[in-house]
A = this chain, B = another copy of it.
Amino acid sequence: MSSEIFKVIKKKGKKRLGLLKTSHGYVETPNLMFVATSGSVKGISSIQLDQWGIQFLITNTYHLYLRPGLEIIKKAGGMHRFMNWKRTLFSDSGGFQVFSLSKLRKFKDDGVIFQSHIDGSYHLFTPENNVDMQRILGTDIMMVLDECMEYPVTFEYAKNSVKRTLEWAKRAREEFTKTSSLYGYPQFQFGIIQGSVYNDLREHSSEELQKMDFDGYAMGGVAIGESKEYIRKVIDIGDDIMPEDKARYLMGVGEIDDIEYAVENGFDIFDCVIPTRNARNGALFTDGGKILIKNSKYKDDFTPLDPTCSCTLCKNYTKSYLHHLFKSQEMLAGILATEHNIHYYSKVMKRIRESI
């Protein structure tokens, strides 16, 4: 069964030029989502992102469930309206956050109990209620709840975890099928392949997920501390184990060389905090490499960061000024740097698409 929402338009080797279409517009792939964890890309309004031609974002169920809470988002009419984002919006299930951010977590038969990182209160995520939550978010594409293993884990641990994640995926798919979208436009659901660095587990995971006929497939639990070699070992099998006619999403991978490598191995969609988080820490990307603007050698460098870039920073300010803003902890430092990195990543993704 071919995908309702995704088409491969052109192939070059394993590389795929694709088009993802949702009720909120199209996304040219390969492409990377900037992260709007709590309904905002840090420092940048949704209006600006739209003006810059950004085609999709990803938000997070764990964060939004805890704050502002789903009743607020339901009253607002879903996340698109709450954050005034008119284009495609993904939501992560929050599985990763439950296993990385929350203070305590405990499996119960039907899901996972965790303590809020904000106020210590207890909450239960199940595969079913997590789908219901993402129905309330009204995102175009939702991810299933998965167990995000740490790195490293033993094969035995990984095997049991994959088993649980597959059971959860089945229940999430059933809940998704039984329920409808709340705001009059269709939603879609992606499954998540897990398996740590054990590729036979990932292969099994993918096979089982495909039986559930998701609208797209993601590779999860990658780039969580393992070496580049292991990251690439997982990327290597993507094209072999993921279906040809559905979107392929490599979660959380955002180093540009890894993205390029993953595109060469047939991946379509990426998300990462690297462009935005690095910007706030003073790391700016250019074709000539990463510029750590807080370095004192930039204090009297009155040239633009990247003369080829069309962002507010590169068109109007010098490295010296940005260095000063960071040293003075001015809000504008992170804002200008974030705009630059968003522009840079958008340019790189466009260049990748044009190479196909």
On A, residues with C-beta under 8 Å from B are: 38-47, 63, 67-68, 71-72, 75-76, 82-84, 299-300, 302, 312, 316-318, 320-321, 323-325, 327-328, 330-332, 334-336
Q: Given A72-B320, A76-B318 in contact, is the A331-B330 Cβ separation under 8 Å? A: no
**Additional A-B contacts beyond A38-B330, A68-B320, A72-B300 (5; CB < 8 A):** A67-B328, A68-B324, A75-B300, A76-B302, A83-B321
Q: Given A84-B317, A320-B76 in contact, is the A327-B68 Cβ separation under 8 Å? A: yes
Is B328 touching A38 in the complex (CB atoms < 8 A)? yes
Question: Which residues of chain B come closer than 8 Å to A76, judged between CB atoms?
Answer: 302, 318, 320-321
In the complex, what residue of chain B is closest to A83 when comparing beta carbons? B321
Most chain B C-beta atoms within 10 Å of own C-beta, residue among A71, A317, A321, A335: A321
Q: Given A82-B320, A84-B316, A320-B82 in contact, is the A331-B42 Cβ separation under 8 Å? A: yes
Q: What number of copies of this chain does the assembly contain?
A: 2
In the complex, what residue of chain B is closest to A327 when comparing beta carbons? B67
Q: Given A40-B325, A40-B330, A330-B40 in contact, is the A336-B45 Cβ separation under 8 Å? A: yes
- 8 examples of A-B residue contacts, CB within 8 angstroms: A39-B325, A42-B330, A68-B323, A71-B300, A72-B299, A82-B324, A331-B334, A331-B335
Whole-angstrom distance from the CB of A36 to the nearest CB of chain B?
A: 10
Is B82 touching A321 in the complex (CB atoms < 8 A)? yes
Report the separation of the CA atoms of residues A72 and B75 in the bound assembly, to the nearest whole angstrom: 52
Is A324 touching B84 in the complex (CB atoms < 8 A)? no
Question: Which residues of chain B come closer than 8 Å to A67, judged between CB atoms?
Answer: 324, 327-328
Question: Which residues of chain B come closer than 8 Å to A331, judged between CB atoms?
Answer: 40, 42-43, 331, 334-335
Report the separation of the CA atoms of residues A68 and B323 in the bound assembly, to the nearest whole angstrom: 9
Q: 3 smallest A-B Cβ distances: which pairs?
A: A43-B331, A68-B324, A38-B328
